[in-house]
A and B are shown apart, each in its own frame.
Chain A
């Protein structure tokens, strides 16, 4: 069965960086893209962007351009998302999800809580 397993919770200071991992199993990794979605406490879902696991092409939401980098390692079927220059309003649960052109976001990781606090 398809599984996405994310790395554990992180606590960071403002201005620091965080890198969240998402290890995929149960399918051919290059068959889907990997999207990243965040959810601030008590708030809705926010799309951040996605990366093609097939060719590494990325598509970021404009507000995250220059501060977020999404990568994949096909040898380990793992996707990564790095967020730099963290601010307190980056405190959120970060989810990875498979992305397919016709079906949307089929499968989701369990989420990684990133807390930004001085």
Chain B
């Protein structure tokens, strides 16, 4: 089973700042099948990025993903008020699919 470790656990930033979230895998993620999700309180997760760097439909271009192998990054440029949420990475390249423990971006 691939274990995903996200860091930092919490990021305290202000609107307009840049957020950089890391996701490290215990072994290489097949075909860069790495996704990022956003979850707000009381809501289901929403797909932001798939294939490590491809934005899902309707996702603003201030969200970007990068990385390969075992190290992946989600960057959010110019944080908007609606971006303060919890973010999860997930690998779906090998079973069982696994999630990171989550990273919270909150308002400083």
Contact call B96/A105, Cβ cutoff below 8 A = no
The distance in angstroms between the C-alpha atoms of A106 and B35, with both chains bound, is: 10
User: Which residues does chain A contribute within 8 Å of B46, judged by CB atoms?
Assistant: 108
Q: Which of A41-60 contact B (CB under 8 A)?
A: 44-47, 49-50, 59
One of B15-23, B74-82, B87-95 at the interface: B87-95
Give a binary string over A55-74; 1 marks a CB under 8 Å from any B CB, 0 the rest.
00001011000000000000
A-B contact count (CB 8 A): 63
Contact call B56/A47, Cβ cutoff below 8 A = no
The distance in angstroms between the C-alpha atoms of A18 and B35, with both chains bound, is: 30
Contact call B45/A35, Cβ cutoff below 8 A = no
Contact call B96/A45, Cβ cutoff below 8 A = no
Contact call B96/A104, Cβ cutoff below 8 A = no
Contact call A45/B102, Cβ cutoff below 8 A = yes
B3 within 8 Å of A by Cβ?
no
| Whole-angstrom distance between the Cβ of A38 and the nearest chain B Cβ | 11
Give a binary string over B32-52; 1 marks a CB under 8 Å from any A CB, 0 the rest.
010101010000111100110
| Whole-angstrom distance between the Cβ of A19 and the nearest chain B Cβ | 20
Contact call B47/A44, Cβ cutoff below 8 A = no
CB < 8 Å: which of B45, B56, B98 contacts A95? Answer: B45
User: Which residues does chain B contribute within 8 Å of A111, judged by CB atoms?
Assistant: 44
B84 within 8 Å of A by Cβ?
no
Measuring CB to CB, which residues of chain A are less than 8 angstroms from any residue of chain B? 35, 37, 44-47, 49-50, 59, 61-62, 95, 99, 101-111
18 A-B residue pairs with Cβ-Cβ distance under 8 Å, sorted by A, are A35-B97, A45-B37, A45-B39, A45-B88, A45-B90, A45-B99, A45-B102, A47-B90, A47-B99, A50-B97, A62-B96, A101-B33, A103-B54, A104-B33, A104-B35, A104-B92, A106-B50, A108-B45
